Amino acid sequence: MPRNGLLIQQDWCTGCHACEVACKQEHNFSGGMVGIKVDEVVSTGPDKVYVDFMPYTTRFCDLCAERTKAGEQPACVKHCQATCITYGTVAELAILMDKQPRSSIFAPK
């Protein structure tokens, strides 16, 4: 079985938190438990202050096994308002990533 993961183009993440609530709803998580999180990353350059957001998976991410088995996208991928998350095999994602600025692959399982 090829290994699956999420390619996250963090340059596009706006910090809207839809992925987190999509994950909580899908898994009925409560009490702060969640499979994906988004942090704000503020960095000061010589000319200006930069605001970025960094989504990352947690140990509770199961890549929405039930959804993907039924041919659907993981809940975070579907609902990401900036459409900056892609689901696929790690090998496919690595090819996609080659052409993406500031991006990461997470292979949580």
Partner 1 sequence: MAKSKENKVLSTLWSAGCGSHGGCGCEIYVQDGKVARVEGDKNHPFNQGRLCAKGLAISQYMYHPDRVLYPLKRTGERGEGKWQRITWDEAYDTIEKRLKDIRAKHGAESVIFCQGTGRDIGGPITFLMYAYGSPNWVQVGLAGHACYTPRLGAMFATQGHYSVLDASQMLEKRYDSPEWTPPKYIIIWAQNPAAGCHDGFFGHWIIDCMKRGSKLITIDPRSTWFSTRSEVHLQNRPGTDGAIALGMLNVIINEGIYDKVFVEKWCYGFDELKERVQEYTPEKVEEISWVPKELLIKAARLFAKNKPSAIQWGEPVDAMPAGSVVAQAINHLWAITGNIDNPGGNVIARNSHGVTTYPFSSAELTKLYGADLVKKLNEKRIGANDYPMIKNFRGWVQPDVLIDQLETDKPYPIKGAWIQTSNIIGGQAADPRRHYNAMKKLDFIVCVDLFQNPTSMALADIFLPACTICEKESFRSWWQPLGVSVKAVEGVGEAKSDWEINLDLAKRLATTPIKYNTVRELIDDRLKDGNTNFEKLKAKGCWEYPPEGHNTRPYYRYEKGLLRADGKPGFETPTGKVELYSKKYEEWGLDPLPYYEEPKESSVATPELAKKYPLILTTGRRSPVFFHSEHRMIPWLRELDPFPMCEINDKTAEELGIGNGDWVYIENTHGKIKMKAKVTPTAHPKVVTAPHGWWLPETDGKAPNLFSTWEHNINNLTSMGNQGKSGFGGTDYRSGLCRVFKINGGKE
Contacts with partner 1, residue ranges (CB under 8 A): 12, 14-18, 20-22, 24-26, 28, 30, 32, 42, 44, 48-53, 66, 70, 75, 78-83
Q: Measured from the CB of residue 67, what is the shortest distance to partner 1 in angstroms?
A: 9
Q: Measured from the CB of residue 19, what is the shortest distance to partner 1 in angstroms?
A: 9
Q: Which of 90/100 has CB closer to partner 1?
A: 100
Q: Measured from the CB of residue 16, what is the shortest distance to partner 1 in angstroms?
A: 5
Q: Which of 52/92 has CB closer to partner 1?
A: 52
DSSP string, the chain: ---EEEEE-TTT-----HHHHHHHHHHT--TT--SEEEEEEEEE-SS-EEEEEEEEE-TT--TTHHHHHTTPPPHHHHH-TT--EEEEEHHHHHHHHTT-SS-EEE---
Q: Which of 1/42 has CB closer to partner 1?
A: 42
85 touches 76 (CB < 8 A):
yes
Q: Which of 90/97 has CB closer to partner 1?
A: 97
